[in-house]
Amino acid sequence: MSLRVGMIACGGIARHHWRGWSQVADRAEVVALVDVSAENRAWFKQHVPKATEYDDYNGMLAKEKLDAVDISLPHHLHHPCLMSVIKKGLHWICEKPLCMSLDEAADIDQAMSGSKLVGMSAHNQAFFPALLEAKRLISEGQLGEIYTIISEDCFIMGLPRPGALPGEAPWSAVEPGMWRADAAKMGGGELIDTGYHPTYRLLFLAGREPVRVAAITGKYRQKHMQAEDTATVLIEFDNGITGMVRTSWALELPAGHHSFHVVAERGELYGSANELCWKPVRFNEPAKMAFDEVDTFEKEIVHFVDCVEQGIEPLQSYKDGIRVLQVIRKSYDFVDEGKANI
């Protein structure tokens, strides 16, 4: 039986999710659309003309008989929306960040506990083929002991993103009045937005519990943001592995850097979405592995439908979303408390 799905928000990223929903049309049907913008709903309507339109998610939840929802609202609306969705007993996939505060995360965790609902964090970059291969090699012990992991996601907001899919529009620069300019609606700045990606990649590769962080933030280019456009976070894990996240909407990935870089006893493993390099200790030239390009948004939606149908835990569940939020919130605390001041 086909799943009945409601799209909660039809903005920029939801259109990327659509590529996934269009791939599973025989297994899941988008039957309802929510957005306060009629123009954004109209973009979806051209693909799902029979879907019912709403400008309020509670209205949709009250009227529609659904199995699952796909949430791409601005950050401050994730928590209230998730609480309503879980109360309704629906499976869900939600864009990052899961929510904005650790209190909100605790609410969501409590509401989900004991339920058989699938709650998936839309951590699309966890589907990078090179990252999945790196995880496999680490888990098999091929690298020996892991020492330190660097994970970076840097681009200039408003300019086309390196590695963008053909025809993919750049994310708009942050302008006054946008929710991204407003620290209260964001729950912070760039770190709690794009910074989620390198953080979940790092936690995924480390596979251990983070225990301590230090952080520093800056605002260089996105002058209309109330909060930072760039952050660097240091993380220590319970087994002594250390990590560094660098994330920015002000600078491109510094020349020679990689999306992720693992330094281990037997060598260095580093790469991007589709390329992985392995440089054993004392070798100068790395061995290179190339992977077919994948659409990670398509992958995450197909995976979500697989998880709902089979009742299995997602590759990145909401619990992973909570762990990332812990690192990010503690990083903001570190900055706010001025612990790095000289």
Ligand X SMILES: NC(=O)c1ccc[n+]([C@@H]2O[C@H](COP(=O)([O-])OP(=O)(O)OC[C@H]3O[C@@H](n4cnc5c(N)ncnc54)[C@H](O)[C@@H]3O)[C@@H](O)[C@H]2O)c1
Contact residues: ligand X, CB under 6 A: 9-14, 34-37, 40, 72-75, 77, 95-96, 122, 124, 193
Nearer to ligand X, 153 or 268 (CB): 153
Axis-axis angle for helices 102-112, 78-87 (nearest 10): 10
Closest contact distance (angstroms) between CB of 163 and ligand X is 12
Closest contact distance (angstroms) between CB of 286 and ligand X is 28
DSSP string of 263-302? Answer: EETTEEEEE-SSEEEEEETT-SSPEEEE-----HHHHHHH
Closest contact distance (angstroms) between CB of 342 and ligand X is 33
Cα distance between residue 77 and residue 99, in whole Å: 8
Nearer to ligand X, 77 or 111 (CB): 77
Cα distance between residue 202 and residue 148, in whole Å: 10
Cα distance between residue 172 and residue 12, in whole Å: 10
Q: Work out the number of other CB atoms within 10 angstroms of the CB of residue 281.
A: 11
Closest contact distance (angstroms) between CB of 92 and ligand X is 13
Closest contact distance (angstroms) between CB of 251 and ligand X is 18
Residues paired with residue 262 on neighbouring β-strands, in sequence order: 149, 269
Nearer to ligand X, 177 or 256 (CB): 177
Nearer to ligand X, 297 or 334 (CB): 297
Give the CB-side neighbour count of residue 301, counting CA atoms within 13 A.
Answer: 28
Cα distance between residue 268 and residue 148, in whole Å: 10
Contact 108, 78 (CB under 8 A): no
Closest contact distance (angstroms) between CB of 31 and ligand X is 17
Q: Coil, strand, or helix at residue 113?
A: coil
Cα distance between residue 12 and residue 84, in whole Å: 23
Nearer to ligand X, 148 or 317 (CB): 317
Interacting residues of 170 by C-beta distance below 8 A, sequence separation 6+: 157, 158, 159, 160, 161, 164
Nearer to ligand X, 163 or 240 (CB): 163
Closest contact distance (angstroms) between CB of 177 and ligand X is 12
Cα distance between residue 71 and residue 10, in whole Å: 9
Residue nearest to ligand X (CB): 11
Phi, psi of 182 (to 5 degrees): -100, 110
Nearer to ligand X, 228 or 268 (CB): 228
Quote the Cα angle for 319-125-113, to 5°.
15
Closest contact distance (angstroms) between CB of 125 and ligand X is 7
Based on the number of CB atoms within 10 Å of its own CB, is 342 exposed (0-12), middle (13-18) or buried (19 or more)?
exposed
Closest contact distance (angstroms) between CB of 172 and ligand X is 8
Nearer to ligand X, 73 or 117 (CB): 73
Nearer to ligand X, 130 or 241 (CB): 130
